[in-house]
Amino acid sequence: MELKKKIQNFQDWLNQNRTLPDKIAVDVEIKREPCSICGSLMTVQKTIKRTIVTLQHGCFNTHERVLVCPAGCTYPDGKLVTRRAETLNKLVPTGANYGYDLEAFVGLERFVRHRQREEIRNTLKSEYGIMISTGEISELTKRFLSHVEALHESHAQEIKNTFLNDDGYPMHIDATTEGGKGTLLVVYAGWRGWVLGAWRIPSESVSEITPRITDISNKFGNPCAIIRDLGGPMACAVDQASLKMESKPRILACHFHFLRDVGKDLLNDDYDHLRKMIRKLSVRTKIKAVISKLRKYIDNEDIYVTGKYFSRKSGN
């Protein structure tokens, strides 16, 4: 036990002293090359000081020299011809302080392992010696999603070629509405199980859905079939989008939605009777009271009850 305690104390000391931002400074070298427009040897425009944090290297300061064309050459957009260090750009985005590896770690922890911000923060502190706020973790998750989207877009042709080898793909499309949070629209390739697109839209309307379907078919090819729900706006949007496709896909109704609608028609009277009984007995109110007590002790991120989310305060 004493040995384990000493090992733990050493590990804690190592984590706390892993990075020394006030003492470690790195001069980022950049080769002086001629301007790509006029051929003049580029000169130092300025030196940028930044504090960089990565999982691989920890926290350190950098002195980056930015080169500029002495003749004042500009790009077509009017910006001066400048050059920055490629080695640093591979570690961290321009103007940012947190590296790509840290961004990927936070994104995977949040969206793949479903961990809360405070849990991610504690892991970074205990295992990597990195101190970061929950707000910064939120920003990193947004940046992670933005880069994943860009990666998805950059491989559109490869995905399209895969579908061509599969003789097409069935496009599943559906929208789910969350109270007060807008509508999430998702397009899904059924055989491969790939999400082709997801958007937060203000409402499930034809004007919002049609351009999304068209955009997906333009990027990944026309589907061999489109599977949708029985809602009027969705049906109209699919019909309008399919008219723009060269190969007219079959339009099918989702079996699940069909059975659910039929079930509502057959059991509507019984459902109304049950709902009135629940209201009369105040069942929902009592369940909410129980959940309010249990939420302090149950180690679960979200508890869904009667159409509303009850979340722990530490996290989101």
18 shares its domain with 127: yes
Number of domains in the chain: 3
172 shares its domain with 192: yes
pLDDT band at 1 (very low <50, low <70, confident <90, very high): low
8 shares its domain with 141: yes
**Residue 271: per-residue pLDDT:** 81
Domain that holds residue 38: 2-145
Task: Say what the pTM is.
Answer: 0.66
pLDDT band at 305 (very low <50, low <70, confident <90, very high): very low
Residue 14 has pLDDT above 80, yes or no: no
Choosing from 117, 145, 173, the residue where a domain stops is 145
Residue by residue, DSSP assigns 26-93 as EEE-----B-TTT-PBPEEEEEEEEEEEETTTEEEEEEEEEEE-TT--B-TTS-B-EE--HHHHHHS-
120 shares its domain with 227: no
**Tens-place pLDDT, residues 160-202:** 999 999 999 999 999 987 665 678 999 999 999 999 999 999 8
Choosing from 123, 145, 167, the residue where a domain stops is 145
Cα separation, 168 vs 160, in Å, equals 9
137 shares its domain with 195: no
Query: Which CATH number belongs to the domain containing residue 230 in this structure?
Result: 3.30.420.10
Residue 265 has pLDDT above 90, yes or no: no
**Residues 119-126: what's their mean pLDDT?**
92
Higher pLDDT, 235 or 26: 235
**Residue 20: per-residue pLDDT:** 43
